[in-house]
Structure 1
Amino acid sequence: MKARITADQHLLDSNRRSEWKQKDAWRTLRILSEFVDGFDTLSDIDRAVAVFGSARTKPETPGYALAEEVGAALAKEGFSVITGGGPGVMEAANKGAAEAGGESIGLGIELPFEQGLNGYVDIGLDFRYFFVRKTMFVKYAQAFIVLPGGFGTMDELFEALTLVQTKKVTQFPVVLLGTAYWGGLVDWLRGRMLEDGMVNPADVELMLVTDDVAEAVAHIVAGCNTKPGSGGDAAMPS
């Protein structure tokens, strides 16, 4: 199958500089329409948690079952579950939420190869631009749960941590689920990055690392129930 050219590629490709003056101004209208559509569709969401992880996780694996458990546990606590809408961990979390009677939301993205939204999404949106989609995740989720994944998962994780660190968002718990997978990264953050003075000690405590779904969800419930100005830190409790 031949890979198609996506809207993001058209927008960011420096080899298409000749198009910038003629076409980029018009592209802003398409970008604006994506923001308007996202805001309009998602504005009635009450409480939600975004679940991230690999699209390559297979249904027969423990990681898929874990994501299902996460989706169901969040739904039982009254949270809508937002994912990237694709297969793997995303599908499993949507499935868990839907089968537990919760609201299951998928925010898809145009990719060079067709992917589409999984069959467990109740409310679905497809975006052309990654940055619009990212805004929707942070705006409408009150927390992130991050399961093992690749570059896209890392991107969402570190964007969330940066927003919390810089106080662009407050009361935003971030949970890494899977100590065996995340342990090396966390050791490096607490070791090399902290020791070299690239972050502060409080920064490396902005995430909970656990294997326990109940602990992860309880951490999110506690963080979301802590109101700014009530004596809690602007980030989430460690």
Structure 2
Amino acid sequence: MTIPDQCAGETTGGNEVTLARIARASVRPVQTLDLLTQREMDSLANADAKLHELFRRCALAILNTDGYVDDARKVYEAYADFDLRVIPEPRGLKLELFNAPGEAFVDGKMIEGIRHHLFSALRDVVYTEHKLAEQQTFDLSSSEGITDAVFRILRNANVVRSNVQPRLVVCWGGHSISRIEYDYSKTVGYSLGLRGFDICTGCGPGAMKGPMKGAAIAHAKQLNSETRYVGLSEPGIIAAESPNAIVNELVILPDIEKRLEAFVRVAHAILVFPGGVGTAEEIMFLLGIKMHPANAHIELPLIFTGPAESAAYFEQIDTFLKDCLGDDVGRHYTIINGDPAAVARAMKGSIKGLRRQRIEQNESFSYSWTMHIPEELQQPFLPTHENMAALALHRDQPAHQLVANLRRAFSGIVAGNVKDFGVRAVEAHGPYQLHGAGEVVAGLADLLEGFVRDGRMKIDPATYRPCFEVAGQPESTQ
């Protein structure tokens, strides 16, 4: 139940952040954090300033779900006066909100899905911080410890369960895509839903929303009420990709690397729709895993798909990957364009093989423990100007190291495009500088130039200014 005092301000259209506000409201959890001890509630109420600010920003992004602005800084600045506090009560936890986005409320009550997302964020942020800072029970210094931490965060959110069947398809793709591509992603989701598949995405708009929307219609037609729409995010990007309304299981991982690991360990198959640098980062992360010799026995289907009108996009991706990593990389993925039913049928056949393998190997359906993820893909990368310039982008190094460096380069550009700290750093110090040699740097320059030209960097491409320059190719990104 929420009790708003008043709503003030106006809502603007287009890409502007909504300015309608609820001056004061209170809300309690439902089925999340509703059974806490007084000591646990006190620890939430007395969180330090850093943790409070982290949760405040995540909460603001969730409450601003319908505000399609992919610049975290603009969201934070528009609602600089938003705040909240945790209030322990004998009957349980309560949140008080101040100057919250008005779009999160209908007739004086917070929308139920948004309320669920809000307390999911509190659960994840506080749980992770509690384990890291107070109990020191997460070991993030080793590969095994990181994998264990990701599992425990997902288990705490009830995403990994003992009774699941292998039917969770992870869908990656851009938040800034054309209407044709968005409609295609919905149709693919519909074809998957008719065949009983659940959907997991980065939980934002565009290709993260389309498959869920299509699957939801298909699940309704099949009278399937036990459906899962899993959204995985992280604090640095959630304001730019606020959870869409269809997500019914939201998890906020501590950083992008753990978010990516969560994707690949819960996935039973992965679909990639057209996207920008965030999608390229995800592709590099997964290929770095699939190409590792330790994973030669691992089944994890990977399909690139888009409408026929976007066939050139995956032709460019395919060319870039083969120029950088060799022709052998092509055996790790399949490209199917313009045929949603064929995509769904291919997924259905591939997942049968995955199911057989996991039964034979006594492997969990809900979390792939045996998959090896190289530590260079697990350790967080801070995209400072110095770190970005130091990335070695050439083929004169082991393939796994090149993959990791390309993943870091794309991750840094994502930060410069939409994350608050990255946008500010680029404004203060100019574009990130990327250095490399040969086919890698030439291919990277062509790929990024295509993303800029096709409007795949931002929701509003007319105002986009590249946050990067590729050494030797300064004009190709302008």
Q: Which TM-score tier does this pair reach, normalised by the shorter chain? A: 0.7 to 0.9
CA distance in 1, matches of 2:301, 2:231: 20
Residue 126 of structure 1 deviates from its aligned partner by 2.0
| Offset of residue 214 of structure 1 | 1.8
CA distance in 2, matches of 1:145, 1:217: 10
Task: Name the structure 1 match of 2:344.
Answer: 217
Hey, what's the Cα distance between the residues in 1 that align with 2:186 and 2:234? Answer: 22
1:163 partner SS:
helix
Residue aligning to 2:181: 63
> Could you say which residue in structure 2 is the equivalent of 1:42?
159
Judge which range, 81-90 or 94-103, deviates more: 94-103
Unaligned regions of 5+ residues in structure 1, if any?
5-24, 230-238
Contact 1:68-1:95 at 8 Å conserved across structures:
yes
Q: CA RMSD in A?
A: 2.8
- 81-90 or 176-185, larger mean C-alpha shift: 176-185
Q: Is 1:186 matched up with 2:318? A: yes
Q: Which has the larger radius of gyration?
A: 2
Describe the SS at the equivalent of 1:49: strand
Contact 1:94 1:105 in 2 (8 A): no
Name the CA distance, whole Å, in 2 between partners of 1:223 and 1:69: 20
Contact 1:57 1:88 in 2 (8 A): yes
Q: Give the partner amino acid of 2:312.
A: A
3-state SS of 1:187 partner:
helix
Calculate percent identity across the aligned residue pairs.
22
In the alignment, does 2:236 pair up with 1:111?
Answer: yes
2:300 match: 172
Deviations 1:170-215 (A, max 9, x none): 111111113221102213444x34xxxx43x543121111112222
Q: Does 1:134 align with 2:260?
A: yes
Query: 2:174 aligned with 1:54, yes or no?
Result: yes
Aligned to 1:91: 209
**Could you tell me how far 1:33 is from its partner in structure 2?**
6.6
Secondary structure at the aligned position of 1:98 is classed as: helix
CA distance in 2, matches of 1:146, 1:50: 8
Shift of 1:37: 2.8
Q: For the Cα contact (< 8 Å) 1:82–1:105, is it kept in 2?
A: yes
What secondary structure sits across from 1:55 in the alignment? Answer: coil
For 1:9-63, what per-residue CA distance to the aligned partner results, in whole angstroms no more than 9, with x for missing partners? Answer: xxxxxxxxxxxxxxxx7396577776423134211342211001111236xx011
Quote the Cα distance in structure 2 between the aligned partners of 1:125 and 1:98: 20
Q: Which residue of 1 aligns with 2:409?
A: none
Contact 1:173 1:219 in 2 (8 A): no
CA distance in 2, matches of 1:214, 1:132: 32
Q: Distance in 2 between matches of 1:127 and 1:181?
A: 30
Tell me the TM-score normalised to structure 2 length.
Answer: 0.39
Instruction: Tell me, in whole angstroms, the C-alpha distance in 2 between the residues paired with 1:152 and 1:74.
Output: 23
Once residues 3 and 112 of structure 1 are traced to their aligned partners in structure 2, the CA distance between those partners, rounded to angstroms, is 12
8 Å CA contact 2:150–2:262 kept in 1: the answer is no
Change (3 A) 1:85 1:222: same
Tell me the distance in 2 between the aligned counterparts of 1:113 and 1:171: 30
Matching residue's letter, 1:70: V
Counterparts of 1:139 and 1:50 in 2: how far apart (Å)?
Answer: 10
**Corresponding residue for residue 8 of structure 1:** none
Match of 1:159 in 2: 285
TM-score, length basis structure 1: 0.74
1:21 corresponds to which residue? none
Where 1:145 maps in the other structure, the secondary structure is: strand
Whole-angstrom distance in 1 between the partners of 2:168 and 2:331: 22
Q: How many residues of Structure 1 are paired with residues of Structure 2 in the alignment?
A: 202
Structure 1 pair 186–33 and aligned structure 2 pair: CA distance change class (3 A)? closer
Work out which structure has the larger RCO, using CA pairs closer than 8 Å and 6 or more positions apart in sequence: 1
Contact 1:3 1:113 in 2 (8 A): no
How far 1:93 sits from its partner (Å)? Answer: 1.4
